[in-house]
Amino acid sequence: MEHLLTIKDLKKEEINELFSLTKKLKEENKEGIAHNLLTGKSLGMIFAKSSTRTRVSFEVGIYQLGGQGVFLSSNDIQLGRGESISDTAKVLSRYLDGIMIRTFAHSDVEKLAEHGSIPIINGLTDSYHPCQGLTDLFTVYEHKGQLSNLKLTYIGDGNNVAHSLLLATTKMGMDISIATPSDYRPDAEVLQVAKEWAAESGSQVEVVTDPLQAAQEADVLYTDVWASMGDEAEKEERKEAFKDYQVNTEVMNVAQDDAIFLHCLPAHRGEEVTADVIDGEQSVVFDQAENRMHVQKAIMVKLMK
């Protein structure tokens, strides 16, 4: 691992290693064991898109590893405005030991990796959300004890989260079924890669328009907000398009009896998910949210140690 830009950057063995390290770091953190694995290291955290979970999980995570996080909002730096991305990458590489960036265009992340000399971690772009996808699968593994021979159903927008789930599940041998309106299907190129990986791992990929069809016999049910950050102008249009794509009791009832519910948060109860589902016994969304920090700690150790 040089960078984490998308899950395409990882081999299956590397994901297994990340999960083993995540488990160790999480368990020992609960026992009060200190991890000074990144003492003296600094992580620059560039935010063009704000986030509760991403900022806190990375900032606390690097602190728990003995390093420090430097918060850089888009108002604080000249990234892509008064200074080229290539120059910014070269300058920050002289100050920092790693960069996490949460932004809009995926090309910005690629340029940082191309021109910098330190590890770059994609904290989210409009195309991919690899830290979230890895966290999701770690959470499934934690609750199910395995990943292969399981089915994950994602209901909602074919967005960056859906893209990373497609790549992560098929890389690890999980079946994935996505239910989304025809106009909001995942990117065709990402879908093609996922199908190729599924053929190699023996898993299956399905994209349908019927949520109940997708949810049949699912071990994991997952959804996300209908209008992500940057899609606010389409809020009402999307509300109409996704009105039949809510995860509710009817959807949960066609899944496996012991299915778990995931959501990357923030959630809008009454829209993409009902309150009784996200606050119910099958929901593990807060375990999932906590695991963002532990998975990202493992990523930082692998890249920056």
Query: Averaged over 52-66, what is the pLDDT?
Result: 97
157 and 135 Cβ atoms separated by less than 8 Å: no
pLDDT band at 82 (very low <50, low <70, confident <90, very high): confident
pLDDT (tens digit per residue) in 89-104: 999 999 999 999 999 9
* Nearest alpha carbon to residue 99 among 86, 83, 112, 80: 112
Dist. CA 37–CA 41, nearest whole Å: 9
Q: What is the pLDDT of residue 229?
A: 76
Average pLDDT across the chain, whole number: 96
pLDDT band at 83 (very low <50, low <70, confident <90, very high): confident
pLDDT score of 228 more than 70:
yes
pLDDT score of 80 more than 70:
no
pLDDT score of 76 more than 90:
no
176 and 194 Cβ atoms separated by less than 8 Å: yes
Q: Which residues are catalytic?
A: 102, 129, 132, 224, 264, 292
Say what percent of the chain tops pLDDT 70: 99
pLDDT (tens digit per residue) in 146-155: 999 999 999 9
* Nearest alpha carbon to residue 295 among 151, 167, 130: 130
pLDDT score of 235 more than 70:
yes
pLDDT band at 57 (very low <50, low <70, confident <90, very high): very high
Q: What is the pLDDT of residue 122?
A: 98
> pTM of the entire structure?
0.97
pLDDT (tens digit per residue) in 99-158: 999 999 999 999 999 999 999 999 999 999 999 999 999 999 999 999 999 999 999 999
Burial label for 74, CB within 10 Å (0-12, 13-18, 19+), is middle
